[in-house]
Amino acid sequence: MQHVIRIHDFSRDEIDRILDRAAELEPVAHTGSSDALSGRILATLFYEPSTRTRLSFDVAMKRLGGDVIDLGAVETSSAVKGENLADTISVISGYADAIVLRHPKEGAARMASEFSSVPVINAGDGAGQHPTQTLLDLYTIRKEGKLNKAKIAFVGDLKYGRTVHSLAHALSLYGADIYLVSPDQLKMSDLMKDALIESGTEIVETAEIDDVIDVVDVLYMTRIQKERFPDPNEYHSVVGSYRITKETLKDVKDNLIIMHPLPRVNEIDPEVDASRHAMYFRQSFYGVPVRMAILSMVM
Amino acid sequence: MKPKPGEPGDRELRVKRITNGTVIDHITAGQALNVLRILGITDRPEEVVSVVMNVSDRKKDIVKIEGRELKPEEVDKIALISPDATINIIRDYEVVEKHEVILPSQIEGVVRCINQNCITNTDEPVKPRFVICRGERVELHCVYCGSVIADRIADFLI
């Protein structure tokens, strides 16, 4: 049985196979339907809020002809009676053919996989891992840009953002050059940078978007959270300097793609949405074929 | 007059020699009590346990456990905090086995995770488990959340 817990558990070949399958399924993800998972049931357990991840798993399963059962709001589940996650997983794995889990505690998905008799797919565990987001990010880069030896800039919160950590690791498998653009307070940890450098990845660190925006193929924006700054004035000044507008994009490469895991707040001016560089909504859509690929491969 | 074995005042004699059991020698000075914690010998053990700290010019601690021969898999965990420790199995006053502790590749239920938000620091029925990496220093990688403990490992003993 194959669980999907962390992107680090996958080799480049395995990732490529998932992305290939996603490409095959993309037409079905748009408008079609398939009976590949007819008669199968997916359980979705979200102990934290989610829009895109939850709905795209739901859509992915239904496009493949399967059914979805949902834990619903945690407040109406047996969790409020004090049932622990291990017991919930033991019960639900008897009802479904696979489980998608989002949980506020790091390592929850790994633990769930030890109690489950069916595959567990991690849909985010606290500040830890969100492997299906990484896979859809890789799919977007491969489809809309180039994945091999890409030059990618991560912008914003590189300290706490789990999306960046997982994607940076995955891109190291593809020989990427990585540009880290963040204020001092939100720099990527040395531990993580060391791991990337050890894997042979070139890293350039700067506080200014202007230093890198004209050389990169991918601009990966992240949300900077207000609570990371003790001084609100400092927050506003930092946020302002990491905002993408039409003006910011005037000298970029023709084939630059701008990505964002969403939701965005102020990082990208809505007037950028119409530009050929804006890829974040399509990126979000690619969550469907990528999750279809994962579901079809684990069930 | 020298006290007889078992009489009050014979502690020094017990520390010096045991008839049968295990002597853990060359424990990093100051870590003897943590060694006992790792071995689970903390709460009124059945065995007679002697602890000697700061011997040989304050360079090492020694623990002697009478009447119990510890198996390597029980003892190797102490390499986490005392990598130079040696294990001596004693039978009839003689050392019949002597070996150094070897760091295991994984440990379970010995150290708690540094990450307060890790699933192992909750009421879930799961013991903290770590993969041990030994490079320039010993690192413990949490199997569940991926957090790394590299410094002050003794602070995280359960």
- Give A168-219 pLDDT, tens digit per residue: 999 999 999 999 999 988 899 898 899 999 999 999 999 999 999 999 999 9
Chain A residue with minimum CA distance to B142: A107
pLDDT, residue A231, reads 82
Q: Give me chain A's average pLDDT, please.
A: 93
- Given a cut of 80, is residue A281 above it in pLDDT? yes
Per-residue model confidence as pLDDT tens digits over A146-168:
999 999 999 998 988 888 989 99
Question: On the CB side of A207, how many CA atoms lie within 13 Å of its CA?
Answer: 9
Nearest CA in chain B to A104: B117
Name the most confidently modeled range: A12-21, A229-238, B82-91, B95-104: A12-21
Last residue of a domain, one of B100, B124, B143: B100
Question: How many CB atoms are located within 10 Å of the residue B97 CB?
Answer: 12
* Interface contact flag, A110 B148, Cβ < 8 Å: no
**Same domain flag for B49 and B117:** no
- Check residue A4 and report its DSSP letter: B
Q: What is the chain B residue with the closest CA to A125? A: B145
Residue A265's CB is within 10 A of a number of other CB atoms, namely 11
The domain total for chain B is 2
A159 is catalytic: no
Whether B4 is in a domain gets the answer no
The DSSP element (H or E) to which A202 belongs, if any, is strand A202-206
pLDDT computed for residue B3 by the predictor: 58
pLDDT band with cut points at 50, 70 and 90 for residue B152: confident
How many H helices and E strands in chain A?
10, 9
Residue B123 shares a structural domain with residue B86: no
* CA A167/CA A171 separation, integer angstroms: 6
Mean pLDDT, residues A262-289: 95
pLDDT confidence band for A227 (50 / 70 / 90): confident
Question: Which homologous superfamily is A132-284 in?
Answer: Aspartate/ornithine carbamoyltransferase (3.40.50.1370)
Residues 6 or more apart in contact with residue A46 via CB below 8 angstroms: A53, A54, A70, A71, A74, A100, A101, A102, A123
**A6 vs B contacts (CB less than 8 Å):** 146
Task: Please answer yes or no on whether B117 and A110 come within 8 Å at the CB atom.
Answer: no
B119 in a domain, yes or no? yes
Give B122's contacts in chain A (Cβ within 8 Å). 105
Q: Is the pLDDT of residue A95 over 90?
A: yes
- The catalytic residue among A130, A169, A223, A260 is A130
Position B7 confidence tier, pLDDT thresholds 50, 70, 90: low
Which pairs from A88-94 meet CB under 8 Å and 24+ separation? A88/A45, A89/A45, A89/A115, A89/A116, A89/A120, A90/A115, A90/A116, A92/A43, A92/A45, A92/A116, A93/A117, A93/A118
B92: region left, alpha or beta (phi > 0 left; psi from -120 to 50 alpha): left
Q: Is-catalytic flag, A53?
A: yes
What pLDDT does B14 receive?
A: 46
Stretch A20-30: mean pLDDT: 97
pLDDT of residue B8: 56
Sign of the torsion angle spanned by Cα atoms B55, B61, B66, B69: negative
Residue B57 and residue B135 in one domain: no
What tens digit of pLDDT does each residue of B46-89 get?
888 999 998 877 789 999 999 999 888 788 888 888 888 999 99
In which region does residue A23 sit, left (phi positive, over 0), alpha (psi from -120 to 50) or beta (all else)? Answer: alpha
Residues B74 and B117 in one domain: no
Residue B122 lies in a domain: yes
The DSSP secondary-structure symbol of A244 reads B
A290 min Cα distance to partner chain B (Å):
24
A107/B119 touch (CB, cutoff 8 Å), yes or no? yes
In a mutational test of the A interface, the residue from B112, B114, B115, B117 whose CB has the highest number of chain A CBs within 10 Å is B117
Check residue B40 and give its pLDDT. Answer: 83
Residue B47 is part of a domain; what is its CATH number? 3.30.70.140
Containing structural domain, residue B65: 11-100
Instruction: State pLDDT tens for residues B12-42.
Output: 544 668 899 999 999 999 999 999 988 888 7
Q: What is the pLDDT of residue A238?
A: 79
A201 classed as catalytic: no
Question: Does the pLDDT value for residue A229 go beyond 80?
Answer: no
pLDDT value, residue B59: 85
Give the domain CATH number at B121.
2.30.30.20
For residue B106, what pLDDT band results from cuts at 50, 70 and 90?
very high
Joined together, the tokens standing for residue A287 give 């969550």
**CB–CB contact A107 B148 (8 Å):** no
Interface test with A, best of B112, B119, B123, B148 (most A CBs within 10 A): B119
Specify the CATH number of the domain A7-129+287-298: 3.40.50.1370
A52 is catalytic: yes
